[in-house]
Amino acid sequence: MYKILEKEALNPTVTKMVIEAPLVAHKAQPGQFIIFRASEDGERVPLTIADYDREKGTVTIIFQIVGAATMELNALNEGDSLVDFVGPLGTPSHLDGLKKVAVVGGGVGCAIAYPTAKKLHELGAEVHSIVGFRNKDLVILEKEFEAVSNRVVKMSDDGTWGEKGLVTNALEALIKEGNQYDEVIAIGPLVMMKFVCKLTKEYNIKTTVSMNPIMIDGTGMCGGCRLTVGGETKFACVDGPDFDGHLVDFDEAMHRGSMYRDFEAHAREAECN
Ligand code: FES
C-alpha cells in the first residue's frame, strides 16, 4: 500500500500528492512515469513523476481531475493509501550535454515540464521556460519555474496572467531575439506540441515532446499506447514517453485520443453517482 503523505489543490482541477513509495523514489528519473490504481477495482492510469525525494522515499504526482479514475484518486486524503503505484516506467529524458534549452509547458503539462526544467538547471544549462495557461485561475508551479529558469515567459489565452497569446508566439519571439537553443522541449496538449514542432521545424531546432496516450499495462505488452513516429509504430510506455517531435504523427495521436471520449464520459457519470 502506498500512503498519501501530502495532498494540495494547486487549482480547482489540479491536485498534487506526495506518495510514500521508496522503491520508486530510489530509481526515478525525469521523464519517467508511474501507473496507479486507487482501489482494487480502479482503473490503471499513468501519471508522470513530477518530483521525487530519494532520502525521504517519496514521489510527487500532479494530476488533472478529468475522468473517473482521477476523481477517485482525488477523493482520497492524507493518510489514505493507493492499492498500486508501479514504476518508474518509461525511458528517462536525455538531458545531459544541453547548454541552452527552451522548455515549453502548456496547462497541466507544466507538471511534467517542471521536473525537466529543474533537472536541466541542476545540470548547468541555461533554461528559458515558456509556460501557458487558459487563464490565471489555472496557473500552477509559477514559483517553481521561476526558481529553476534563467528566464520565464508567462502566457495566457485571455491575458489575465502574463502576456495574452500562445506559447508558440512567445517561443518565436525568443528565437527571433537571437536565442540559439540546442533543443526545445515541449510538453502539453497534443495540439500545442504539434504547433510548437511546426514552428521549430521551420527554424531547424531539435524538439522533444512527451507523449501521454492511453496506457494499460505500461510495459509494452498491450499496444494501447501505440503511436506512429517517423513512419514506425512505437509504444509510448517503453520507447517513450519522449520522442523527436518532428517525427510524431500528431493527427493520428489526436484521433486515437478522442476515440474513448464517450466511454470516459460514462465512467465519469458512474463515479459521480
Ligand atoms: Fe501497453 Fe504501452 S501501455 S504497450
Indicate whether residue 38 lines ligand 1 (CB < 6 A): no
Q: Is 100-258 CATH 3.60.20.10?
A: no
pLDDT of residue 217: 82
pLDDT of residue 265: 54
pLDDT in tens, 231-257: 999 999 999 999 999 999 999 999 886
User: How many angstroms does the Cα of residue 219 sit away from the middle of ligand 1?
Assistant: 6
pLDDT of 264 over the 60 cut: no
Q: pLDDT band for 154, please (50, 70, 90 cuts).
A: very high
pLDDT of residue 246: 97
Q: Look over the chain and give the mean of its residue pLDDT values, rounded to a whole number.
A: 91
* Alpha carbons 54 and 193: distance in angstroms, whole number: 31
* Alpha carbons 52 and 59: distance in angstroms, whole number: 4
User: Long-range contacts: 133-137, Cβ < 8 Å, 24+?
Assistant: 133/106, 133/107, 133/157, 133/161, 134/107, 134/158, 135/160, 135/161, 136/160, 136/161, 137/11, 137/12
Indicate whether residue 216 lines ligand 1 (CB < 6 A): yes
pTM (2 d.p.)? 0.89
Phi, psi of 152 (to 5 degrees): -125, 125
pLDDT in tens, 186-217: 999 999 999 999 999 999 999 999 998 888 88
Q: Is 2-89 CATH 3.50.50.60?
A: no
User: How many angstroms does the Cα of residue 5 sit away from the middle of ligand 1?
Assistant: 29
pLDDT of 144 over the 60 cut: yes
pLDDT of residue 68: 86
Nearest by Cα to 71 from 273, 213, 218: 273
pLDDT of 259 over the 70 cut: no
Whether 182 contacts 94, CB under 8 Å: no
Instruction: Please report how many Cα atoms fall inside a 13 Å half-sphere around the Cα of residue 236, on the Cβ side.
Output: 27
Query: What is the residue extent of each domain of the chain?
Result: 2-89, 100-258
